[in-house]
Structure 1
């Protein structure tokens, strides 16, 4: 059963960038290069190759990423391409081994049982859609700047300081993808404090990944991240999604997702250059 799931995940990972980026093949790796502005994509093992990525492939991709001004980022599933872990580390990359988790729909609770703070799914027809998208991104920026689940001082003021305007093309892209079901966005918050937690999901066919779940540090330990995740998962299942998955940033964060009905099936590897030690 896991083998089928891993094959579906590989097709998903390969498909997600293709409507916004062009693929460049470098040996057994493919680098997705976005046309225009937007979040830069990764390099990963090619879907159509039977050979394992070699050190020369990693070096070629990194050279191309530097040439294009892109982050030297690689992603893969360890169970599908186990040889790449040692190759990446020998190339001097730092590899995060993130718990790869799949939803058990029978174990999914209602969002309202996880937090008293309401969660809303963003709708392109809402008058405040642009402001809500900007808030989702600002919450994520503040939340991920202080990784983990510990409470901290950063709250609504820091979120508001992180707000940035969206250009027309970025907003149109978001609205189109939400409208056709390829993306879901969610916010948890109160009228007084505004958005406190956010998250999104990307969907291709009957497979979807929940990603970018973040909570302002000052609002943590209130079940907000779990509630956002549950709300997204319920919406995905209602839309006919057969496989819902995510990658947790750590074992500690994975415990939050266990409460929402996700179960670990493997390891998602995310590699980038190791930090330079002075």
Structure 2
């Protein structure tokens, strides 16, 4: 599964507005933001980069004024992490990823789960972007570009879902990438703090996962941020499968 997830990561980065390929790496950039989670690289499965390959990758980020950064499944390219660490890259995080298949998917009971919708209007995409920004505690700010990215995800073959707040606005939601390599990535599951504990994350997770299976994906994968969210995903049918490594080059180490 590591190779499938890594192959997906390569294909998904190639969907970015700006893509640069060098020395066994794919770097994907989003020009309207310097957010490191929107600008990063990943290796091709089995890549064995040289010192010169890593230096070239660093240069690609430096010329854009961005943090050199990678996300990848290390078991799919075992030679990559040692080569990056030799150049001064450090570990940001190691995240476990979970996988759901049509066989393991567990849908919430109807009548108990919150009503899930797909955004259709500019107002709904904008409100969802604002809700997710609040849910993630300022990791990113709500913006017109964020709303456009959500709409683009839906229009390009992915899916976006949300749950309304009975008091007005949107309580929470998430999105899922278009399928590639027979899998898809579910990301950004977030609920406004005042609306948590209502089953919103579980509802949008199940809805998005089911939507990808209807589009023919053989699996959906995601990363979780804590044991509470992990339990939500496991109840929806997600199971531990592997790890993803996040590496970046601290400014003091950049040549």
TM-score tier by shorter-chain length is 0.7 to 0.9
Instruction: Give the aligned partner of residue 65 of structure 2.
Output: 69
CA distance in structure 1 between the partners assigned to 2:226 and 2:85 by the alignment: 19
Instruction: Give the aligned partner of residue 188 of structure 2.
Output: 212
User: Does residue 187 of structure 1 match 2:162?
Assistant: yes
2:102 to 92, 100, 105: 105
Asked if the contact 1:89–1:95 (Cα under 8 Å) also holds between the matched residues in 2, the reply is no
- Segments of structure 2 that go 5 or more residues without pairing to the other structure are none
Measure how far apart 1:221 and its partner are: 2.8
Render the CA deviation track for 1:222-254: whole Å, top value 9, x for unaligned.
322122111111111122221211122345532
Render the CA deviation track for 1:1-59: whole Å, top value 9, x for unaligned.
xxxx333323321111323334323433222234x436733211135xx5423555444
CA distance in structure 1 between the partners assigned to 2:98 and 2:107 by the alignment: 19
User: Does residue 132 of structure 1 match 2:124?
Assistant: yes
Q: Closer, same or farther in 2 for the Cα pair 1:143/1:271, shift >3 Å? A: farther
Asked if the contact 1:98–1:250 (Cα under 8 Å) also holds between the matched residues in 2, the reply is no
Asked if the contact 1:101–1:245 (Cα under 8 Å) also holds between the matched residues in 2, the reply is yes
Asked if the contact 1:17–1:32 (Cα under 8 Å) also holds between the matched residues in 2, the reply is yes
Instruction: Give aligned pairs, total.
Output: 247
1:259 to 235, 245, 252: 235
Normalised to the residue count of structure 1, the TM-score between the two structures is: 0.75
Instruction: Give the aligned partner of residue 115 of structure 2.
Output: 118
CA distance in structure 2 between the partners assigned to 1:73 and 1:223 by the alignment: 34
**1:19-58 to 2 correspondences below 5 Å:** 19-34=15-30, 36-37=31-32, 40-47=38-45, 50-54=46-50, 57-58=53-54
Secondary structure of 2:177's aligned partner = strand
Secondary structure of 1:204's aligned partner = coil
Instruction: Give the aligned partner of residue 93 of structure 1.
Output: 90
2:11 to 9, 15, 24: 15
Secondary structure of 2:131's aligned partner = helix
- Segments of structure 1 that go 5 or more residues without pairing to the other structure are 148-161
Asked if the contact 2:99–2:220 (Cα under 8 Å) also holds between the matched residues in 1, the reply is yes
CA distance in structure 1 between the partners assigned to 2:89 and 2:13 by the alignment: 26
Normalised to the residue count of structure 2, the TM-score between the two structures is: 0.80
Secondary structure of 1:121's aligned partner = coil
Asked if the contact 2:25–2:42 (Cα under 8 Å) also holds between the matched residues in 1, the reply is yes
CA distance in structure 2 between the partners assigned to 1:163 and 1:29 by the alignment: 30
2:78 to 72, 78, 82: 82
Q: Closer, same or farther in 2 for the Cα pair 1:109/1:51, shift >3 Å? A: closer
Q: Closer, same or farther in 2 for the Cα pair 1:256/1:274, shift >3 Å? A: farther
* RMSD of aligned Cα (Å): 3.1
